[in-house]
Every structure is written in C-alpha cells, then in structure tokens.
Amino acid sequence: MQRDSTGYRSLSEVIFTFIALILYGAVATMYPYLPPLFGFMLALLVITQKRYLIPILIFLLFFETEHNHFIFSTWLFAFLYIRFILPMIMNIIDCKKCIIVITVIAGYLLFYGLNHLIYFILGDTFISIDMTLLIFYIVAETLLAVLLL
C-alpha cells in the first residue's frame, strides 16, 4: 500500500502559515503601523466555516495577549458574531466579497465596542485607541481580505 504525501504537504503548509502569522503578530506589536490582522482572521473564520478553527483561535489568543485585551474576549466576540450577527447579514447580502468587507469592518468596530462595554462593567478605564490608526487597520485588512479570500 502506498501513501499519498499531498495531505501531509497541505497540513504542513497550513501549520507553517499560521506559525508565520503568529510571528507576524509579534512583529506587529513592535511596529504600530502594521495591521494586527484581527479582522482578516475573523473573515477567514467566517469564509472557511470552521476549517481552520483551532489555528485561528490560537492566533486570536496571541492577539489579545499582545494587545492587552481581556483573555478570551476575541473568542467570545467571534462566537457572538458568528452565532447572532452573521446570520442576519447573510440573510440580507448574498455577495461573498461584501460579507468579507462587512466582517472586517464590523469585526473591529464591534470588538472594540465589546471591550469598551467590558471595561465599563468592571469600572475600569478603556484603552485609548487612535482612530486614524484604527481606520488604517480596517482599510488595510479589508483590502488584504478581499484580495486573498
């Protein structure tokens, strides 16, 4: 019986890609003009339909620890977004690229809104966010997601 190595190659490509993305996340914390790829990962999670769930959740865990967000807040947001908000969007819009754009934009805005709500409930002050930098991240990741996904 002969084994086919194409399955191993595709698995190793996925693993190396996500290792590179985690390393990119570490570099993005040092250089603030590099987008952190939060919206891109959320769009990838929406498009692939749980195919790369574990690597994306690991990346999101690294994202929240590097950017000082509450632990598992990205997981909570991804669950709420995919379970409640995405079905409403998909009922209205049938265009795949439009859903990607809306996911990246809504991902950033609603995630920071959720974090602001968590900080408010706990009585803490929210991290100040530079709005021009946030808009730059949204535009850059929207273009990246539309081109690659």
CA dist., res. 10 & res. 70, Å (int): 33
Assigned domain for 91 exists: yes
pLDDT-based confidence at residue 143 (cuts at 50, 70, 90): very high
Q: What is the DSSP string of 4-54?
A: -THHHHHHHHHHHHHHHHHHHHHHHHHSTTS---HHHHHHHHHHHTTTTHH
Residue 5 pLDDT:
56
Which range marks the domain in which residue 124 is found? 6-148
| Residue 138 CA neighbour count, 13 Å, CB half | 18
pLDDT per position as a tens digit, 119-140: 889 888 777 778 899 999 999 9
146 within 8 A of 140, measured Cβ to Cβ:
no
Percent residues over pLDDT 70 in the chain: 94
| Residue 30 CA neighbour count, 13 Å, CB half | 4
CA-derived radius of gyration, the chain: 16
Q: What is the DSSP string of 97-108?
A: HHHHHHHHHHHH
Mean pLDDT of 29-57: 87
| Token pair belonging to 144 | 């990246």
Q: What's the structural domain count of the chain? A: 1
Please report which helix (H) or strand (E) contains residue 74, including its range.
helix 73-80
Assigned domain for 15 exists: yes
Assigned domain for 1 exists: no
Assigned domain for 25 exists: yes
Residue 30 pLDDT:
85
Mean pLDDT score of the chain, rounded to an integer? 86
| Residue 123 CA neighbour count, 13 Å, CB half | 0
Residue 8 pLDDT:
59
Assigned domain for 71 exists: yes
Q: Which residue has the higher pLDDT, 120 or 18?
A: 120
